[in-house]
């Protein structure tokens, strides 16, 4: 079953929307999750709102089975209950999620996907603990006021990581291997900024057992300003992925010393 996820703008989110969606993906790996940038027709649509205003636009979404408008963390319980019921098929046997996960994911050069997250101070503090980067530029208001930005900024790498989030979960998706990244940090990201990472599959080279895809990514804030841009390469095994329109052949790798056998 294909489950579409469409987020609101995140201007007044009162809970971590992405975390709740990721929990669904972990609990129900037998289903394919996609975004409104990939398709408008899904078996189930999740219109994920950050607050009770429920301002996300759903007029262009077509749900074959069910459309959920999710305004609180509690509302995700209804989705879980529905998906648990859908697990029971025919004679009541549960579908095997392992078989579903091992199916090839079909990709096309030109395909796009996106993911949105709002960064708060606790995200920065957790990232500082994980990485050891406790620079006061990110965590100390008084110190940051003396620097060019005048206030604390989110770690650039943390903001840029949303591009990796898209590639690791949506496009190409689970099982891809990050090979290379060239990143430009265009503008600072501040506490409370809502960042949308958009990734496009730009080209692909095909080998005997795997593809290497090139992807472009940008992160934009709630004002539509680009804060990060990147060009990346991902390795995709043919056991997990099928690219319908690869543009370049394996011999093109010879000059770069990459073995695709």
Superfamily in which the 112-256 domain is placed by CATH:
Hotdog Thioesterase (3.10.129.10)
Higher-pLDDT residue of 70 and 90 is: 70
Q: Is the dihedral of CA 124, 128, 133, 137 positive or negative?
A: positive
Distances from the Cα of 53 to the Cαs of 10, 19, 49, 57, 70, in angstroms?
11, 20, 8, 12, 10
pLDDT of residue 260: 45
Give the mean pLDDT of 102-118: 88
Lowest-confidence range among 63-67, 91-95, 99-103, 180-184? Answer: 91-95
Q: In the chain, where are the structural domains located?
A: 2-103, 112-256
Q: What is the pLDDT of residues 47-73, one digit of tens each?
A: 998 888 777 888 888 888 899 998 888
- Residues contacting residue 26 through CB under 8 Å, at least 6 positions apart: none
Report pTM: 0.59
Using 50, 70 and 90 to split pLDDT, how confident is the model at 92?
very low
- Cβ–Cβ contacts within 10 Å for residue 253, how many? 16
> Poorest-confidence range of 145-149, 168-172, 197-201?
145-149
pLDDT of residue 100: 46
Q: Assess whether pLDDT exceeds 80 at residue 251.
A: no
Assign domain 2-103 to a CATH class: alpha beta
């Amino acid at each position: 079953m294909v489950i579409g996820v469409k987020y609101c703008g995140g201007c007044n989110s009162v809970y971590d929307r992405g975390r709740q969606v990721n929990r669904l993906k972990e609990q129900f790996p037998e289903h394919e999750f996609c975004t409104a940038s990939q398709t408008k027709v899904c078996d189930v649509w999740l219109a994920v709102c950050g607050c009770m205003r429920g301002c996300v636009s759903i007029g262009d979404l077509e749900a074959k089975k069910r459309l959920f408008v999710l305004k609180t963390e509690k509302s995700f319980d209804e989705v879980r209950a529905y998906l648990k019921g859908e697990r029971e098929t025919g004679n009541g046997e549960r579908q095997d999620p392992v078989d579903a996960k091992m199916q090839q994911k079909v990709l096309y050069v030109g395909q796009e996907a996106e993911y949105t997250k709002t960064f708060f101070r606790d995200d920065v503090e957790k990232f500082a603990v994980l990485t050891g980067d406790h620079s006061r530029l990110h965590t100390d208001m008084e110190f940051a006021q003396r620097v060019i930005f005048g206030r604390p900024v989110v770690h650039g790498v943390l903001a840029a990581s949303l591009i990796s989030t898209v590639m690791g979960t949506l496009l190409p998706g689970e099982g891809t291997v990050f090979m290379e990244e060239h990143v430009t940090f265009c503008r600072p990201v501040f506490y409370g900024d809502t960042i949308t990472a958009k990734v496009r599959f730009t080209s692909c080279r095909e080998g005997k057992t795997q593809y290497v895809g090139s992807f472009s990514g940008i992160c934009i804030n709630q004002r539509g300003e680009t804060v990060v841009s990147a060009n990346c390469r991902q390795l995709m095994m043919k056991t997990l992925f099928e690219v319908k329109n690869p543009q370049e052949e394996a011999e093109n790798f010879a000059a770069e010393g990459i073995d695709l056998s």
